[in-house]
C-alpha cells in the first residue's frame, strides 16, 4: 500500500482527526511564516491572534467550496450557479473577516478603531476585499478543495481497478469452468474404453483422475500456483493418455525449472490436451509428442510439438486454442507470447511468459 492509499484510508477511518490535523498544520505553517517575517516587529501573541483568526475564516470558505459548490454545481455542470455562489461566498466571508479584524483582532492588539471605517465603508470597499482579504483567505481553501478532488479521483480509480480485477477474476473462473468439463469428458471416455476390455490399467487411471480432480478442485483456486503442481498435473494427464494408447504413443516430457516459480493454473494443460487431441487422436501410427518446459525467476517457456495430418491442417483455424488465449490475456496482459507454427508435418505451440 503506497502513501496516498494510506492517507486515504486514514481519512476514511479517522475523518474528524484528519481534518483537525490538516487545519492544525495550516495554522502552524502560517504562524511560522509570520514569526519569521515579523519576529522583530510583532510579538508572537499578535501573530497567533492574527493567524488564528485568519484560519477561522479559511475553514468555512474551504468547506463551502468543497462540499457545497463543487458537488452541487461543478459536478452537475451548473457553472453559472457555481460562479454566482462563489462570488457571494467570497464577498460574505471577506466582509465578515474584515469586521472581525476591526472589532476583535485589532482591539486585542491595542489598536483603536478608525472612525471613518464604518460598516458602509467595509461593505463597499471592494478593492480592499478583493486584493487584501480574498487571496489571504481563499489560498488555503483552494488547496483544500484540490486535495479533496484528488482524493476523490484516486478513490474512483481504485474502485475502477477493483471492479476490473473482479471482472477479470470472474471471466477467468468462467474460462476454467469451460475447460474442466471438456477435459473430464475426454478422460472419462478413456477410462470407459479401458473398462470395456477389463484392462488392469483401469484402477490406475481412476487414481490419476482422482489426483487431477483434487488438484483442479482444491489446489488451483489462486491466481498463481507453484509450477511443481502443474508438472504433477501434466504427468498424471500424460499417464492417462499413455494408458489409452499403450505403446504406440511416445511422449517426451522434459522440465528444468526453479522450485519457487509460480504460474497461472491450467494454462499448460490446455496446450498439452490440444496436442493429444490433434497429434495422437488423429494418428493411426506411432505419434510422438514432445513437451519441454524451462523457467527461471524472470521467464517461463513451454514448447509442445505434435504431428499434424493434412486433414487437420486444412482446418488449422479450429486449433486456435481460444480459451487459452483469453486466459493469458487476463492473467498476463502484455507479458506473454503465444506462437503457433506448422512446419514439416509438426504443429508446435510455444508459450513464453515474462514473470517479472
Give the model's pLDDT for residue 171.
Answer: 62
Mean pLDDT of the chain: 82
Mean pLDDT, rounded, for 55-84: 91
Number of H helices, E strands in the chain: 13, 7
Q: Is the pLDDT of residue 316 over 50?
A: no
Domain shared by 246 and 302, yes or no? yes
Give the model's pLDDT for residue 47.
Answer: 81
Q: Which of 271, 272, 264 is nearest to 329 (CA)?
A: 264
Mean pLDDT, rounded, for 5-9: 75
pLDDT above 90: percentage of residues in the chain: 26
DSSP string across 210-279:
HHHHHIIIII--SS-EEHHHHHHHHHHHHHHHHHHHGGG-EEEEEEEE-TT-EE-TTHHHHHHHHHIIII
Residue at a domain's end among 113, 132, 161: 161
Of 88-102, 105-119, 169-183, 281-295, where does mean pLDDT reach its minimum? 169-183
pLDDT digits (tens, 9 = 90+) for 147-172: 988 888 888 787 777 767 766 666 66
Domain shared by 13 and 156, yes or no? yes
Give the model's pLDDT for residue 181.
Answer: 67
Residue 240 lies in a domain: yes
DSSP string across 97-139:
HHHHIIIIIHHHHTPPPPTT--HHHHHH-HHHIIIIIHHHHHH
Residue 37 lies in a domain: yes
Helix (H, G, I), strand (E, B) or coil at 284: coil
As for how many domains the chain has, the answer is 2
Residue 59 lies in a domain: yes
Domain shared by 322 and 238, yes or no? yes
Residue at a domain's end among 138, 161, 184: 161
Residue at a domain's end among 108, 135, 161: 161
Of residues 96 and 175, the one with the higher pLDDT is 96
Domain shared by 208 and 284, yes or no? yes
Question: Dihedral of the CA atoms 57, 60, 62, 63 (nearest 10)?
Answer: 170
Mean pLDDT, rounded, for 23-41: 83
Give the model's pLDDT for residue 270.
Answer: 83
Residue 55 lies in a domain: yes
pLDDT above 70: percentage of residues in the chain: 85
pTM exceeds 0.95 = no
Mean pLDDT, rounded, for 50-69: 90
Of 275-289, 298-312, 316-330, where does mean pLDDT reach its minimum? 316-330
Domain shared by 97 and 212, yes or no? no
The model's confidence at residue 298, banded by pLDDT at 50, 70 and 90, is confident
Domain shared by 18 and 106, yes or no? yes
Give the range of the structural domain holding residue 76, as residue numbers without chain letter: 3-161
pLDDT digits (tens, 9 = 90+) for 263-273: 988 889 888 88
Q: Which of 19, 25, 57 is nearest to 151 (CA)?
A: 19
Domain shared by 331 and 220, yes or no? yes
Domain shared by 213 and 304, yes or no? yes
The model's confidence at residue 232, banded by pLDDT at 50, 70 and 90, is very high
Domain shared by 144 and 247, yes or no? no
Give the model's pLDDT for residue 200.
Answer: 81
Residue 184 lies in a domain: no
Residue 172 lies in a domain: no
Residue 304 lies in a domain: yes
Residue 277 lies in a domain: yes
Domain shared by 23 and 154, yes or no? yes
Domain shared by 157 and 37, yes or no? yes
The model's confidence at residue 174, banded by pLDDT at 50, 70 and 90, is low
Domain shared by 157 and 203, yes or no? no
CATH label of the domain that carries residue 338? 3.30.565.10
Amino acid at each position: 500500500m503506497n502513501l496516498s492509499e494510506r492517507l486515504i484510508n486514514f481519512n476514511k477511518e479517522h475523518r474528524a482527526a484528519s481534518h483537525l490535523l490538516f487545519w492544525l498544520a495550516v495554522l502552524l505553517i502560517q504562524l511560522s511564516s509570520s514569526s519569521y517575517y515579523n519576529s522583530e516587529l510583532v510579538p508572537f501573541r499578535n501573530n497567533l491572534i492574527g493567524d488564528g483568526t485568519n484560519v477561522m475564516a479559511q475553514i468555512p470558505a474551504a468547506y463551502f467550496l468543497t462540499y457545497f459548490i463543487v458537488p452541487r454545481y461543478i459536478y452537475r455542470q451548473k457553472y453559472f450557479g457555481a460562479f454566482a455562489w462563489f462570488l457571494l461566498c467570497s464577498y460574505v466571508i471577506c466582509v465578515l473577516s474584515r469586521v472581525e479584524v476591526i472589532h476583535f483582532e485589532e482591539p486585542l492588539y491595542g489598536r483603536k478603531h478608525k472612525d471613518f471605517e464604518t460598516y458602509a465603508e467595509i461593505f463597499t470597499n471592494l478593492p480592499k476585499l478583493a486584493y487584501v482579504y480574498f487571496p489571504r483567505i481563499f489560498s488555503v481553501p483552494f488547496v483544500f478543495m484540490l486535495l479533496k478532488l484528488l482524493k476523490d479521483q484516486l478513490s474512483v480509480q481504485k474502485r475502477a481497478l477493483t471492479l476490473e480485477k473482479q471482472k477479470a477474476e470472474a471471466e477467468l473462473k468462467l474460462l476454467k469452468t469451460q475447460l474442466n468439463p471438456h477435459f473430464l469428458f475426454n478422460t472419462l471416455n478413456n477410462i470407459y474404453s479401458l473398462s470395456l476390455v477389463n484392462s488392469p490399467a483401469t484402477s490406475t487411471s481412476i487414481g490419476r483422475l482422482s489426483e487431477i480432480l483434487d488438484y483442479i478442485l482444491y489446489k488451483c483456486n489462486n491466481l498463481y500456483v507453484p509450477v511443481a503442481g502443474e508438472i504433477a498435473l501434466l504427468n498424471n494427464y500424460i499417464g492417462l493418455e499413455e494408458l489409452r494408447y499403450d505403446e504406440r504413443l511416445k511422449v517426451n516430457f522434459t522440465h528444468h525449472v526453479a522450485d519457487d516459480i509460480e504460474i497461472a493454473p491450467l494454462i499448460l494443460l490446455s496446450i498439452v490436451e490440444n496436442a493429444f487431441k490433434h497429434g495422437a487422436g488423429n494418428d493411426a501410427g506411432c505419434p510422438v509428442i514432445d513437451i519441454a518446459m524451462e523457467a527461471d525467476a524472470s521467464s517461463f517457456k513451454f514448447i509442445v510439438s505434435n504431428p499434424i495430418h493434412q486433414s487437420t491442417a486444412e482446418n488449422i483455424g479450429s486449433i486456435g486454442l481460444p480459451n487459452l488465449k483469453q486466459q493469458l490475456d487476463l492473467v498476463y496482459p502484455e507479458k506473454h507470447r503465444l506462437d503457433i507454427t506448422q512446419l514439416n508435418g509438426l504443429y508446435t505451440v510455444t508459450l513464453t511468459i515474462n514473470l517479472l
